[in-house]
Structure 1
């Protein structure tokens, strides 16, 4: 397990601290361990099937990672971190994990009447959701 973990509740979403950025980059490069991923994923509202979809791997591969306690590659690690940071931001904006989860699962007019969680499989989609959360925070809904 890594000494620094992006999944700590104290980690701010929009921090620009150089030490934080460098630690995130190092974490991505070394790969997130399945143990760290599992701690986060078990607290998220996403199923194994959804995580496999977001990480562009099969459920069977995800199960193999668990069995072998394998680390994720850098692209998958980056996606896990992006989703973790988005979740932290969503909880900040909505005030609770359950309200954020409801938003993720409710079709959104600003997103073409699609469910926000359908955008979690790409970095562009995650950035779009981050921008939408900022608009919601500031009351710019259209």
Structure 2
């Protein structure tokens, strides 16, 4: 009777890291496509890395379309004149850290909002424009110029999701 000898597999760290990255990208929670580049993150730390690297000015247009606010109106969130935006977009410049963070937070907010409204994007977009008592009589879209405002809108969506409308 011959005894079978199991061969040990050699551990390849590069292969392991590659598999982990592939799994993380395939199970990505958030995605933003802009200027032919895809930004993917699943955690806050992933988000920090993207913020530090910066995202293109063109991503302002991407998120304004998802929220259904004209770019011209949406530029006030970033305190940008239309001419500066056009120039920076043409040059394919990157947003600074604060503005990159706002775009990524808005991407997360829009994804969550659409999910709360049962994937009815138009319903979510209408809700964003209406005054809301739980937001102090402000419309959700009027609060998108700060991280605190974005968090308050997210909290409001959370209350809607769980049926607590107060």
TM-score strictly above 0.5 = yes
Normalising to structure 2: TM-score of the pair?
A: 0.70
- Runs of 5+ consecutive residues of structure 1 not aligned to the other structure: none
For 2:137 and 2:63, the matched residues in 1 are separated by: 28
Normalising to structure 1: TM-score of the pair?
A: 0.81
* Distance change >3 Å, CA 118–CA 35, structure 1 → 2: closer
Where relative contact order (Cα < 8 A, 6+ residues apart) is larger, the structure is: 1
Structure number with the higher strand fraction is 2
Alignment of 1:1-142 (within 5 A): 6-7=31-32, 20-95=43-118, 96-142=120-166
For 2:60 and 2:132, the matched residues in 1 are separated by: 28
Number of equivalences:
131
Q: Do the aligned residues in 2 keep the contact of 1:6 with 1:24 (CA within 8 Å)?
A: no
- Runs of 5+ consecutive residues of structure 2 not aligned to the other structure: 1-24, 34-39
Higher-Rg structure is 2
Q: Do the aligned residues in 2 keep the contact of 1:56 with 1:121 (CA within 8 Å)?
A: no
For 1:65 and 1:121, the matched residues in 2 are separated by: 20
Q: Do the aligned residues in 1 keep the contact of 2:63 with 2:106 (CA within 8 Å)?
A: no
SS at match of 1:7: strand
